[in-house]
Structure 1
Amino acid sequence: MEIIELPIEFDFNGQKQKIYPSLIVLNNDLTLVDTGYVNFLPLIENEIIKNGYKMNDLKSIIITHYDDDHIGSLYDFKSKYPWIKIIASEIESTFISGEKKAERLVQAEEMLPMLAKEEKEFGIWFVQQLKSLKHISVDTKVRDGDKILDGQCTIMETPGHTSGHISLYIPSINSVITGDAAVNEENKMVIANPHFCLDIEKAEQSLRKIKSLNPKNIFCYHGGKLVL
């Protein structure tokens, strides 16, 4: 098994930014972890092909949580490659399918009236961005401790950033894919956007949970790979 970073550079609000979706390679089958913003499908396709793989080998997509920079292009992937199986936690699957209103949308709508004048325009845009995400059904709903990908990948519930957030532990290569349970800031694992965590106490517990595994390789969606 191998994990490949897919660095995606883009302009956001006038600034250069980068995210790092992960590509899991197992017996020539590919699993993508998170899909970037809306319209990021061609950017991610290019990175996969650049690494020598074919899109026909993409068998599944794992969603760590329902934020627009992680789920934005999921609908496009499923539309273009209908055989792909979508995997997410039971909690996040209810937001992905539209069964429940997404927690991040609830939070953004509640914060909107309290934003300063200079922040209001972005706040309105963000609410509309979340509302415009297309819903799609989840094929496999997972819980803490579940094993997927031929038993080689263990699901870790890592709530805090959102209530249903999951990370992925691959013991054979002593690696964790963290989603937003941890980010790489100056070669240190820290909590992602603590001010926007839905439960900061649980986010701290989840970070400790990841650290307790003593992983060698930590694949952070924000900040990139961290080697300990």
Structure 2
Amino acid sequence: MVVTVSEGVWCIDCQTLDQPNAFIVEDDELTLVDAGWPGDVATVERGLQAAGFEPADIDRVLLTHYDADHVGTLSKLAGLDAPLHIHGAEAPILAGEELPPWRARHGIEVLHRLYYRRLTLPDLPIRALDDGDTIGGFTAIHTPGHTPGHTAYIHEGLSAVFLGDLAYGLNDDLHASGWLTSFNTREVQESIHALLEHTLPHYVRVPRPRSGSQGRTRSPPGTPRRLNR
């Protein structure tokens, strides 16, 4: 299913396992932000078609991080021929040069490592990003914590922020990436704080997280709705 978020922004609601989202963004070029599990390929293709596009129309792919539920369809989308942008810390994993570490995320990273052993990786150019890089109308903001190279993308022209797995929305709250699924929950909180300071300077002064804080982060009054996971 595809939902129009705003003019030029569509959300593809993937239905496998943890139900990740992918986003289509049209400005001067067509961008896919994240791509779902391998089993989401039909959903992503239908979402593109519903928005009036085909995989061959995509000019670039922005990836928030390397987890398989965000990169899984990239080798399966027929006609996709676009560069993949991902933080430099995670580019070797996406390229198949490294595997996720054995010991991280309280043991569950071993599942990511084993899954990557059988994941078909895309044969597409990979462009390593750093904090503050611009890609068309997007700005990459390094938001480590969920993974070391996790990156959020801000599109000021469309008033949109793409969070990946830094946090997820539930009712009027943002819930931070949790203890079990994060490399470092302290970094998650610091990344949320830094991103809010970057995107909401006219809305609220965000208190810095206390040592050991984790879990729910309440959306400040006036927070734009398009904080997209």
Instruction: Letter of the 1:132 partner, please give it.
Output: R
Contact 2:36/2:73, CA 8 A, preserved across alignment: yes
> Which of residues 107, 112, 126 is equivalent to 1:111?
107
Query: What is the distance in 1 between the residues matched to 2:194 and 2:226?
Result: 13
| Residue aligning to 2:57 | 57
> Which of residues 81, 91, 94 is equivalent to 1:93?
91
Query: What is the distance in 1 between the residues matched to 2:110 and 2:182?
Result: 20
Contact 2:58/2:80, CA 8 A, preserved across alignment: no
| Residue aligning to 2:142 | 157
Matches within 5 A, 1:1-228: 2-10=8-16, 12=17, 18-27=19-28, 29-77=29-77, 80-103=78-101, 106-107=103-104, 111=107, 128-136=114-122, 138-149=125-136, 152-212=137-197, 213-214=199-200, 216-221=224-229
| Residue aligning to 2:219 | none
CA drift at 1:92: 1.2
CA drift at 1:44: 0.3
Question: How well do the aligned residues superpose, as a CA RMSD in angstroms?
Answer: 2.4
Unmatched tracts of structure 1, length 5 or more? 113-122, 222-228
**1:114-158 Cα distance to aligned partner (Å, 9 max, x none):** xxxxxxxxx987664332123346431111111112xx2100000
- In the alignment of these two chains, the number of paired residues is 199
Query: What is the distance in 1 between the residues matched to 2:181 and 2:39?
Result: 24
Query: What is the distance in 1 between the residues matched to 2:110 and 2:144?
Result: 26
CA drift at 1:183: 0.8
CA drift at 1:96: 0.5
Contact 2:58/2:82, CA 8 A, preserved across alignment: yes
**1:76-131 Cα distance to aligned partner (Å, 9 max, x none):** 23xx325211111101111101222214x5437x727xxxxxxxxxx987664332
| Residue aligning to 2:212 | none
Unmatched tracts of structure 2, length 5 or more? 1-6, 201-222
Give me the TM-score of the superposition, normalised by structure 1: 0.77
Contact 1:176/1:210, CA 8 A, preserved across alignment: no
Contact 2:99/2:116, CA 8 A, preserved across alignment: no
Query: Given the superposition, is the C-alpha separation of residues 87 and 157 from structure 1 closer, same or farther in structure 2, using an over 3 Å criterion?
Result: same
Query: What is the distance in 1 between the residues matched to 2:43 and 2:134?
Result: 29
Query: Given the superposition, is the C-alpha separation of residues 8 and 163 from structure 1 closer, same or farther in structure 2, using an over 3 Å criterion?
Result: same
Query: Given the superposition, is the C-alpha separation of residues 82 and 22 from structure 1 closer, same or farther in structure 2, using an over 3 Å criterion?
Result: closer
Contact 1:174/1:217, CA 8 A, preserved across alignment: no
Contact 2:178/2:185, CA 8 A, preserved across alignment: no
CA drift at 1:40: 1.6
Instruction: Letter of the 2:68 partner, please give it.
Output: D
Contact 1:89/1:142, CA 8 A, preserved across alignment: yes
Instruction: Letter of the 2:159 partner, please give it.
Output: N
